[in-house]
Amino acid sequence: MSKYPVGLEETVDFLKGLPGIGRRSAERIALSLLNWPQEKLDTLAELLHELKERVTFCPECHNLAEDGGVCDICASAGRDRGVICVVEDPGQIINIEKTGLYHGVYHVLGGKLAPLQGKGPDALHLDTLRQRLAAGNVHELIIALSSDVEGRATALYLADQFQSETIKITRLASGLPAGSDISFADSETIAAAFSGRVKL
Ligand SMILES: [Zn+2]
């Protein structure tokens, strides 16, 4: 057999588009799915079928939410709405929340400015951020973007757009490894970066 049956090939083709999954890993996953009982495969198919319906994005901050509602953090009465921490994606919120030290709210940008890849301000969730700041209760915007060129450019853009008499813009202290971001940092490093934040 020089080639897999078509049904398996097609599954491999889908899987190999996933982050970190190359051709070889995709083959191993597909072969192992083939050994699952039908019932388990049906459950997986059902989960995938309903994924986008069940997991939605918070209309306030673009964090992950359920069934079209606001996220847990925006729904919580115990959060300080005067401080907004700006992150690239929802995975970073989970990592910051693990520290248990941050009590403000978040705003997920959905990426960073990358003019060379055609990603300008319109590609980010800036309109909703502008609306939240215009509501007038926010006194600090903490920029928790990665410290690479794009992250720094985005931070400067945000400072330029939103810095005002009433809104202080800060960025995390540079305890994080260069070019890295809070997605990969441990809780202690994140806590130190938050407590040592500096004004932009
Ligand atoms: Zn939210």
**What's the 3-state SS for 74-117?**
HHCCCCEEEEEEEECCHHHHHHHHHHCCCCEEEEECCCCCEHHH
* Cα 1 to averaged position of ligand 1 atoms, centre (Å): 52
Q: Give bridge partners of residue 56 from the DSSP assignment.
A: 65
* Long-range CB pairs of 14-17, under 8 A, 24+ apart, other chains included: none
Distance in Å, CA 74 to ligand 1 centroid? 4
CA distance 167 to 136: 9
Whose tokens are 């941050």? That residue is 102
Q: Other C-beta atoms within 10 Å of 111: how many? A: 16
Span from the CA of 13 to the centroid of ligand 1 (angstroms): 35
How many A from CA of 105 to the centre of ligand 1?
8
List the chain pLDDT tens, one digit each, 200 residues.
678 999 999 999 999 989 899 999 999 999 999 999 999 999 999 999 999 999 999 999 999 999 999 999 999 999 999 999 999 999 999 999 999 999 999 999 999 999 888 889 999 999 999 999 999 899 999 999 888 889 889 999 999 999 888 999 998 876 565 545 677 778 888 888 888 788 88
CA of 114 to the centre of ligand 1 (A): 25
